[in-house]
C-alpha cells in the first residue's frame, strides 16, 4: 500500500476533507475565494487600483455592512470579490459555489445538474445554470493559450443518441440509425497534442474546408499531423513542417510503428480516441443528453479536465476559479435542458 503523502501547504492539498470547512462557513469560503482572486490583497475591479479599504458600518446602524465589502479610494466605487467574475450578481453563497467547483473539477467524467441540485440543495434549473457558468470559466484556459505543437493527433466523432421508432401501433417508424459519417448526430472534432493539451469543438460539417480551417487555427505550422485516412485531411502535409501521417483504419490498422526518422515513432490516433472515450462516457453515463446548442460547453469542460490531468483535484479546482475572472454568462432558458 503506498504511503500517504505529506501535506505540501499548497493547492495540491485541497480535497473534500480539507475543503469541507469552507462548505459550512461562508466567511471562510469568502476568504478562500478572495485569497485566490487577490493573492496580494484586494484590487478594485473598476479601475484596477490597489488603494482600497474595507468598509465597516457603525455599530448602531440599521443597515450594517456585510463582510467582504470594499471601497476604492481612487474611483470611490464599492465592490466585493464577486464583482468582475463569474459569481457576479449570483444569489448563491460563495460556499455553495466552491462546492460546485470542487464537484465538477474532481469528477473525471462530469457531474450532472440533477446531482448538483441534490448536493447543493437548490433547484435543477439553478444547478443547470451554475454548471454552465463554471464551464464558462474553463474557456480561456491558460494552458491552451498557444497553438498545439509537436505530434498532434486529430480525429472526429459523433455525439447524440440513437433515433427511436414510434411507439404507437401503426405509426410510421423513424429512419434507421446510421453510424459514422452521414448520421444525424452532431460531429465533434478533437486535436490532441501528445503528452500535452487538447482542443475540441463541434463542427457543422466534416468536409475539407471545415476541418482544415480548424487545424490551421489551432496547430502551429512546425507540428506533425497524424490522422486516419479520411480524405478531408489530404494536403495538410504541405502546410506543416512535420508532414501528415495516416493510419488506415479501413484495413484494421490502428497503430503503425516506424524507424522514427521521417515519421513519428508510431502513427496512431489512439490518444484522440481516448479523449472521445471520456466524452462519450460523460454523455451516456452522466448527462444522458447533450444538446447541439450547448455541446461546445461540454467539449470545453472535457478539454479542461484533460489538460489538467497531471495535477491534483485541488489545483484543477483553483485553476477553474481563477478562470472566472472577467467572465459573465447571462441566463437564457433553453427549450430542453441538458442534464
297 close to 132: Cβ distance less than 8 angstroms: yes
**Averaged pLDDT, 90-97:** 96
pTM reported for the whole predicted model = 0.88
Least confident of 51-60, 85-94, 115-124: 51-60
Cell of 58: 457603525
Residue 147 confidence (pLDDT): 92
pLDDT value at 167 more than 80: no
pLDDT value at 187 more than 90: yes
In this prediction, residue 183 has a pLDDT band, given cuts at 50, 70 and 90, of confident
Give the residue, 148 or 332, on which the prediction is more confident.
148
Cell of 23: 462548505
Q: How far apart are CA 324 and CA 66, in angstroms?
A: 23
The residue to which cell 455553495 is assigned? 96
Residue 171 confidence (pLDDT): 54
Residue 184 confidence (pLDDT): 78
Q: Which helix (H) or strand (E) holds 188?
A: strand 186-193
Residue 328 confidence (pLDDT): 85
In this structure, how many other beta carbons lie within 10 angstroms of the beta carbon of residue 147? Answer: 17
Q: How far apart are CA 228 and CA 156, in angstroms?
A: 10
**Averaged pLDDT, 3-30:** 88
In this structure, how many other beta carbons lie within 10 angstroms of the beta carbon of residue 226? Answer: 27
Residue 57 confidence (pLDDT): 76
Q: For residue range 48-83, what is the model confidence (pLDDT) as tens digits?
A: 999 999 998 777 777 888 889 999 999 999 999 999
**Averaged pLDDT, 244-258:** 92
Task: Give per-residue burial for 7-16: e unless 16+ CB within 10 Å, then b.
Answer: eeeebebbee
Residue 123 CB burial class (10 angstroms; 0-12, 13-18, ≥19) = exposed
What is the second-level CATH architecture of the domain 145-159+182-294? Answer: 2-Layer Sandwich (3.30)
Residue 335 confidence (pLDDT): 43
Residue 309 confidence (pLDDT): 94
135 close to 107: Cβ distance less than 8 angstroms: no
Q: For residue range 265-302, what is the model confidence (pLDDT) as tens digits?
A: 999 999 999 999 999 999 999 999 999 999 999 999 99
If we measure between CA atoms, which residue out of 232, 87, 251, 60 comes closest to residue 68?
Answer: 87
Q: How many percent of the chain have pLDDT more than 90?
A: 74
**Averaged pLDDT, 17-45:** 95
Residue 203 confidence (pLDDT): 96
Q: For residue range 196-211, what is the model confidence (pLDDT) as tens digits?
A: 999 999 999 999 999 9
**Mean predicted lDDT score pLDDT of the chain:** 89
Amino acid at each position: 500500500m503506498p504511503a500517504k503523502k505529506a501535506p505540501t501547504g499548497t493547492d495540491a492539498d485541497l480535497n473534500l476533507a480539507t475543503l469541507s470547512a469552507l462548505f459550512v462557513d461562508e466567511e471562510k469560503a469568502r476568504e478562500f475565494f478572495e485569497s485566490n482572486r487577490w493573492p496580494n490583497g484586494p484590487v478594485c475591479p473598476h479601475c484596477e487600483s490597489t488603494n482600497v479599504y474595507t468598509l465597516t458600518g457603525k455599530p448602531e446602524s440599521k443597515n450594517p455592512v456585510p463582510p467582504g465589502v470594499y471601497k476604492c479610494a481612487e474611483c470611490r466605487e464599492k465592490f466585493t470579490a464577486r464583482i468582475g467574475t463569474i459569481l457576479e450578481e449570483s444569489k448563491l453563497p460563495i460556499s455553495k459555489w466552491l462546492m460546485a467547483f470542487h464537484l465538477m473539477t474532481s469528477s473525471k467524467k462530469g457531474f450532472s445538474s440533477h446531482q448538483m441540485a441534490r448536493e447543493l440543495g437548490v433547484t435543477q434549473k439553478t444547478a443547470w445554470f451554475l454548471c454552465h457558468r463554471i464551464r464558462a470559466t474553463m474557456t480561456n484556459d491558460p494552458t491552451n493559450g498557444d497553438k498545439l505543437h509537436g505530434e498532434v493527433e486529430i480525429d472526429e466523432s459523433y455525439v447524440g443518441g440513437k433515433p427511436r421508432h414510434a411507439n404507437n401501433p401503426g405509426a410510421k417508424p423513424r429512419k434507421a440509425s446510421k453510424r459514422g459519417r452521414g448520421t444525424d448526430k452532431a460531429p465533434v472534432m478533437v486535436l490532441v497534442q501528445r503528452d500535452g493539451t487538447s482542443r475540441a469543438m463541434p463542427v457543422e460539417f466534416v468536409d475539407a474546408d471545415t476541418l482544415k480551417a480548424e487545424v490551421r487555427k489551432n496547430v502551429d505550422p512546425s507540428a506533425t499531423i497524424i490522422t486516419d485516412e479520411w480524405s478531408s485531411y489530404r494536403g495538410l502535409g504541405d502546410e506543416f513542417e512535420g508532414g501528415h501521417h495516416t493510419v488506415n483504419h479501413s484495413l484494421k490498422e490502428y497503430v503503425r510503428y516506424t524507424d522514427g526518422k521521417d515519421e513519428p515513432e508510431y502513427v496512431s490516433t489512439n490518444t484522440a480516441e481516448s479523449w472521445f472515450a471520456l466524452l462519450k462516457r460523460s454523455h451516456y453515463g452522466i448527462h444522458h443528453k447533450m444538446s447541439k446548442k450547448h455541446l461546445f460547453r461540454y467539449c470545453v469542460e472535457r478539454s479542461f479536465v484533460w489538460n489538467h490531468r497531471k495535477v491534483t483535484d485541488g489545483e484543477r479546482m483553483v485553476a477553474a476559479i481563477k478562470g472566472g475572472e472577467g467572465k459573465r454568462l447571462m441566463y437564457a432558458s433553453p427549450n430542453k435542458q441538458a442534464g
